[in-house]
Amino acid sequence: MAEDWRPIDSSTDVEAGLHQPDPPELALAERALESGDYGTSLRLLAPLAEAHGASTALGGRIRLLMATALMGQGDSAAAAACCRSLRGCRDLTLRQQARDLEEVLDAPALQRPRNWSVQVPSLGELELVEGGSPMQSWRRRPRPEPPPPPPVGATRTPWGFALLAVALLLLTTLLAGCVRVDTNLDFLAPGRLQITQTSTSASGQALPWQRDLAAALGGGPVVVERDHGRQSLRSPSQPASQALSWLGQSLEKGAALAGVNLARPVLELRERNWLIGVQQELVLEIDLTALDSLPGLELAFRFEPLEQAAVQLATPRPVQAGPGAHQLHWNLQPGALNRLAWRTWRWSRLGLGAMAVALLLGLALLLQRLRLRAGFGFPQLPA
């Protein structure tokens, strides 16, 4: 696989529009939203939403601002519809924010107990209690003056709502990075490899990234297992070249779904068969320089069975002994070029069995030759 190494084409990057400058209308719409002028903000955002699709990061930001303005106008149904349009957004953070806001908007209204409010009787009921006629009392009383119109002026900036929204955005960003991904490489037999990729969310709930990755790689012989915030993708035991090809696809798909443009990883396994065993050499090169360090983000590889003495190169972090016997654990470092190389020898049960059968057959032939030389002749059945 080393010969096919090349960086991923930037045209396939799902967030290629992130480096474009924001249109000036977006800043005007944000200032109008902060001042409480929701109508002006929606008029500025509507043409921007038509120009930028919901799948892009800029289109997702525009529709989140539109949902906030619609909430300010009291139109919860339109705001929820605007959030639902972001389900296809390729930006993980924006998609999670839209889902959280949609859950708040779609939450059912709670029934308020009657003893929480004071019931004011109508005028007719009051007159009946006093003993008079409600119609006569209504005619005697002058009609009240209509209330004055509400004063119109500059709306106060909703600082409380703005602080709450910022806190929710920061919390969503932190939880999105709190995930651990472990990739196990089990060498069940010479030339055969089984890969299990396990992702664990620190929040205990399944992340949208995990569901999208399972939808992209699941199906067929790949087994998907979920338990709340833990998800496992296990490939069958297959030739090492096919297993490493599937591993490369999972790394590229996972990076694309997270909105990160990573170079194609180098996954190369060389095997030399000597009948009684196989000599294996593995080279891994995963470039994570484009992936910034996030709190709670952990990436690791596990190899089994493998001895510590087989490792020839491990940078920037060393290889450590795993919890089980003949198991090695290697943590990747985001923001750096991670390299690993090891060489080991694995005995072949089939080759050893064939060698043992050949030795026993040769021994039997030797004993028969010695018997003939001793004059006993060939073995015969009893008379």
Among 46-50, 109-113, 247-251, the minimum mean pLDDT is found in: 109-113
Residue 4 placed within a domain: no
- DSSP for 244-281 reads HHHHHHHHHHHHHHTT---BPPEEEEEEEE-SSEEEEE
d(CA 94, CA 51): 18
DSSP state of 155: P
pLDDT band at 315 (very low <50, low <70, confident <90, very high): very high
Cβ burial of 1 (10 Å; 0-12, 13-18, 19+) is middle
Residue 361 placed within a domain: no
Query: Do 167 and 247 lie in a common domain?
Result: no
Query: Which of 69, 62, 63, 68 lies closest to 42 in space, CA to CA?
Result: 69
Query: Do 69 and 199 lie in a common domain?
Result: no
Which of 173, 199, 230 delimits the end of a domain? Answer: 173
- 49: domain CATH number is 1.25.40
Query: Do 183 and 221 lie in a common domain?
Result: yes
Query: Which of 324, 286, 283 lies closest to 302 in space, CA to CA?
Result: 324
Both tokens assigned to 36: 């409480």
Query: Do 218 and 326 lie in a common domain?
Result: yes
Residue 365 placed within a domain: no
Residue 148 placed within a domain: no
d(CA 166, CA 38): 19
Percent helix, strand, coil in the chain (nearest 5)? 45, 25, 30
pLDDT at 373: 82
Residue 89 placed within a domain: yes
Query: Do 53 and 78 lie in a common domain?
Result: yes
Instruction: Summarize the confidence of residues 73-102 as an average pLDDT.
Output: 86
Strand ranges (DSSP E) for the chain? 179-189, 192-201, 223-227, 230-234, 238-239, 266-273, 277-287, 297-304, 311-315, 319-321, 328-332, 337-347
Tallying the residues shown for the chain, one arrives at: 383
d(CA 298, CA 182): 8
State residue 229 phi and psi, 5-degree precision: -90, 10
pLDDT at 174: 42
Whole-prediction pTM value? 0.48
Our count of domains for the chain comes to 2
Query: Which of 252, 211, 246 lies closest to 230 in space, CA to CA?
Result: 211
Instruction: Summarize the confidence of residues 193-215 as an average pLDDT.
Output: 84
pLDDT at 48 over 60: yes
Query: Do 184 and 292 lie in a common domain?
Result: yes
Both tokens assigned to 357: 């059968």
Query: Do 283 and 207 lie in a common domain?
Result: yes
Query: Do 50 and 89 lie in a common domain?
Result: yes
Rg (CA), the chain: 35
pLDDT at 306 over 60: yes
Residue 322 placed within a domain: yes
pLDDT at 81 over 50: yes
Both tokens assigned to 117: 């409010």
Residue 121 placed within a domain: no
State residue 174 phi and psi, 5-degree precision: -70, -40
Query: Do 167 and 232 lie in a common domain?
Result: no
Query: Do 224 and 205 lie in a common domain?
Result: yes
Which of 173, 206, 230 delimits the end of a domain? Answer: 173
Query: Do 191 and 335 lie in a common domain?
Result: yes
Both tokens assigned to 57: 């990061």
Tell the residue number behind the tokens 């929701």, with chain if given.
38
Both tokens assigned to 184: 């196990």
Among 84-93, 161-170, 215-224, 285-294, the minimum mean pLDDT is found in: 161-170
Residues of the domain holding 184: 179-350
Residue 217 placed within a domain: yes
Query: Which of 228, 288, 295, 302 lies closest to 254 in space, CA to CA?
Result: 288
Most confident of 121-125, 346-350, 360-364: 360-364
Which of 173, 196, 216 delimits the end of a domain? Answer: 173
The average confidence (pLDDT) of the chain is 77
Query: Do 301 and 282 lie in a common domain?
Result: yes
d(CA 44, CA 26): 7
pLDDT at 4 over 90: no
| Sign of the CA dihedral running 213, 217, 220, 223 | negative
* Torsion-angle region of 377 (φ positive above 0: left; ψ -120 to 50: alpha; else: beta): left
pLDDT band at 122 (very low <50, low <70, confident <90, very high): low
